[in-house]
Structure 1
Amino acid sequence: MTVISPKTKKDYYQALIAKNTEYEGVFYVGVKTTGVFCRPTCPARKPKFEHCEFFETAQQALLASFRPCKRCRPLSHPNHVSALVQTLVEAVEANPEKRWKDKDFQELSVDASTARRQFKKRFGMTFVEYARARRMGLAMKQIRTGTAVIDAQLSTGYESSSGFRDAFSRIMGAAPTKLGQTTLLKATWLDTPLGPMVAIANEHALYLLEFIDRRGLEREIERLRQKTKSAIVPGLTPAISSIESELRQYFSGNLKKFRTPLSLLGSPFQLQVWEELQKIPYGETRSYSDIAAKINKPSAFRAVATANGANQLAIVIPCHRVINTNGNLGGYGGGLSRKEWLINLEKKQS
C-alpha cells in the first residue's frame, strides 16, 4: 500500500471540506470517532482533521475496520441510481412514445414531484423533459427514414401540429421540415470510479467523452451540436456501448488501447496534436515540448497545450499523459487529482 504523504493528506482534507467531485475515487476517508468511511463528497458533517484517516481504496478502509457510510455509500458509484429513477427509465424504454400524465405516475405508485426532483439531480432535466426528449428522438428517426411529419407527430402523441413543431424545435434545434440537414447524436451518462462521465455518439463513432463536472461542459456540448448540425437526445448507440465496456476494462487495468471508433472535430493543427497524443505509450508521459517536436513545430508548445485542452475525448485520447517539462502535472480539464490518478493507474499496470 502506498504511504500517503502529510501534504497529500492536507490536500485530501481540503477536498473533503469542499466536497470536491474531482476527488471521487481518488481517496476515501475513515472517521475515527464514528468508525465509518466515506467518499470525498459525503454530505455528512465534516470531522476534524485529526479524526481522519485517508485511504486510496475502499478495500483498504474496510481492512482498517471502518464500515461504509450509509449516506454517501462509498461501495457504490458516486451517483448511485435510485430504484425510482431506474423504474422510470425502464418504463420509458418499454413505451418510449408514451406521453406521461399524473395517472401514469399513480399507477406506478410514484410521486410525480419526487420523480421530477430525482431526475433533475441525476440527468439535469425533469422526468417529463427526459421522456419528451426520448419521444422526439423517435420522431426524428421516423422522419429521416421517410415517414411523413404528420405521421411522426401523431405516433409520438401530439395532436397539434404547431405544438409538435414548437416542441421539436425546442429540443432538437431544428424544425421537422428542416430535418434533412440534421443528424442525430445520442447522449448517455456513464458511471466510472472517478465520477460520472457523459458520452455522445452516433451509431458509428464517439464524438465526446467528458467528466460531468468539467467546467464549461454545457458550452462544449452546444458547440458540438452546432458543428455537426445535430440534435442530441438521451439514448444508446453501438459506439456508446463499446466505450462503456472499454472504460470498465480500462479502470480494472485490463485494457491499454481503446478501439471504439472516434469522430474528431478540430482544426488541422488540433487533429495533428490529437493524433500524436494517441501515440504516447500506455504508462508513459510526454511533455508539451515533446509533442511540439514530434509534429515538427518545436516552438509551438503553448499551442500544443491549448490543443490538448480542447480535446473532447477524455482518457481515450490520452491528454492526461502530457505533463510540463519540469515534471509538474500541468493542466487537465477533469482536474489534476484525476490526472494524477490516471497516470498512476497506468504506471502500476504497465
Structure 2
Amino acid sequence: MRDLTDDMLYRALLARDPAYEGRALVGVTSTGIFCRLTCPARKPLARNCRWFADAASARDAGFRPCLRCRPEQVALPPVVADLLAALRADPERRWSEGDLKARGLDPSTVRRQFRQHMGRSFLQMARDARLRQGMGRIAMGDDVIEAQLDAGFDSASGFRAAFRRLFGHAPQDLRGGGDLAAEWIETPLGGMIAIVDDSSLHLLEFVDRKALPQGLARLSRMVGGRIGLGRRPMTDRVEASLGDFFAGRNGRLDLPVTLHGTEFQRAVWTALRDIAPGATCSYAGLAAAIGRPSAVRAVASANANNRLALVIPCHRVIGSDGRLAGYAGGLWRKERLISLEASYRDPGANRVDAGLLPL
C-alpha cells in the first residue's frame, strides 16, 4: 500500500472501485468493523477510516470482519476464476500463450494475476495438471510413453524432465508396487503429493515447493526406495481430512503420521500439532514450549524441514512482532490459511467459501 494515499483509498471506497480488491481493506473506528473497499454498506466518514494491507493486520488492530462483504475470504479476479474453471473442465489440454491471446487475454497480465493469487503461473498449473494425469496412468500400469502421450507431452524427454523435477528421479523408478504409495491430491491451494503406507501418512507437500524433490529423495532413501504410485485407504482418509479442513468443518487434520526426523525435530513437530486451529505462536514461544527457550534458530530450522504440510501446521508460526514469517509453501498460502482458520477461533467469522477457492 506504499503507493496509495489515504485520499486515493477513500475515493476508491466511495466509488466501490473493484481495482482495489486484494490491495487494501478499511477499518471503521466508529463500528470496530473492517471491510473490502467494495462493501455495499453505508460509507463512513473519512476521519473514521483506517487502512490495512490485509485481514490479519486489521484483526491485530482490534477490528472484526464485516459479515456483508466477508473481507477474509479470497475473491479471485474473473480472469483467474475463468481460466481455473477451464483447467478443471479439461485438465489434459495443452495451453499456450497463443491460447490466452485467442481468448482476448494478455499473457503477461494472466501471469501476474496468477502469481499474485495462486503463487505460480497459469501455464505452470496447466503443466502440473497434465503431469498429474500422467502419474495416474503410470499408477494404473500403463507404459511411460502411453502416460506421456495421454498427458499431452510431445516428447518423452519433456515428460520425464517434468516428472524428475517433481520427484527427483525418472517416472519408471516409481512404477509398480511399494511399501509406500504416492498420490496427487488436489486442494483449493494447489496440488499436494501424499505418501502413505497402510496405517500412516509419511509426507504431504505442495507440488510446487522447491524442496519437494529433495524431500522425496530423502524419504525414498530412508525406506529403501520402496515407494510406488497409487492410492491406499489411507490416501482416501487424507483426502477426506483435507476436504473437511478447507470446507471449515474441522481445523485439526488428526491423521496418524510417521515422523522422519531427529528427536529434536520430532519434539518441535509434535508441539506444532498442539497449536489450536485459529491460534498462532512465535518461534520463541515454540522453543519455550518444548523446554528449549534458547533454541529459536533450531526451531525455525525444524519448521523448514517439516514434510507434513497442514497436518503439522508450521503455517501457524509467525514472527515475534506479529508479522507473517517465511513459509516454504509460499507466503500467499500462509495468508490464506491464517484467514481460513480465523473462523475456528471466532465462531462468528466466515467460513471459507469453496466457490472462491477453486478445487
What TM-score bracket applies, with the shorter chain setting the length?
Answer: 0.5 to 0.7
Residue by residue over 1:121-149, the C-alpha shift from the partner in whole angstroms, topping out at 9 and shown as x without a partner, is: 87559xxx75x556x524xx6xxxxxxxx
Alignment match of 1:137 (pick from 169, 173, 176): 176
Question: Would the aligned equivalents of 1:239 and 1:261 in 2 still touch at CA under 8 Å?
Answer: no
Amino acid at match of 2:23: S
Instruction: Tell me how large the CA RMSD over aligned residues is.
Output: 4.6
Instruction: Compare 236-245 and 271-280 and name the one that shifted more.
Output: 236-245
- The residue correspondences of 1:213-292 to structure 2 (distance < 5 A) are 213-292=208-287
Question: Would the aligned equivalents of 2:133 and 2:151 in 1 still touch at CA under 8 Å?
Answer: no
Query: Unaligned stretches of 5+ in structure 2?
Result: 1-17, 26-35, 38-52, 55-72, 88-94, 101-105, 346-359
Give the whole-Å Cα distance in 1 for the aligned partners of 2:306 and 2:150.
41
- Give the match's secondary structure for 1:253: coil
- The residue correspondences of 1:85-96 to structure 2 (distance < 5 A) are 89=136, 93=140, 96=141
Amino acid at match of 1:302: R
Q: What's the CA shift for 1:187? A: 0.8
Q: What's the CA shift for 1:231? A: 2.1
Show the counterpart of 1:180: none
Give the whole-Å Cα distance in 2 for the aligned partners of 1:244 and 1:111.
23
Q: What's the CA shift for 1:278? A: 0.5
After TM superposition, the score normalised by the length of structure 2 is 0.58
Show the counterpart of 1:192: 187
Amino acid at match of 1:30: P
Show the counterpart of 1:5: 23
Question: Would the aligned equivalents of 2:181 and 2:230 in 1 still touch at CA under 8 Å?
Answer: yes
Show the counterpart of 1:30: 78
* Matched residues, number: 259
- Give the share of equivalent positions with the same residue, in percent: 33
Give the whole-Å Cα distance in 2 for the aligned partners of 1:30 and 1:266.
43
Show the counterpart of 1:324: 319
Instruction: Compare 309-318 and 220-229 and name the one that shifted more.
Output: 220-229
Give the whole-Å Cα distance in 2 for the aligned partners of 1:111 and 1:329.
38
Q: What's the CA shift for 1:117? A: 8.0
Q: What's the CA shift for 1:224? A: 1.2
Give the whole-Å Cα distance in 2 for the aligned partners of 1:110 and 1:3.
39
Query: Unaligned stretches of 5+ in structure 1?
Result: 13-24, 58-70, 142-183
Give the whole-Å Cα distance in 2 for the aligned partners of 1:282 and 1:227.
31
Question: Would the aligned equivalents of 1:28 and 1:56 in 2 still touch at CA under 8 Å?
Answer: yes
Give the whole-Å Cα distance in 2 for the aligned partners of 1:210 and 1:339.
14
Residues 86/299 of structure 1: CA separation in 2 closer, same or farther (3 Å cut):
closer
Q: What's the CA shift for 1:119? A: 5.4
Is 1:343–2:315 an aligned residue pair? no
Give the whole-Å Cα distance in 1 for the aligned partners of 2:323 and 2:181.
37
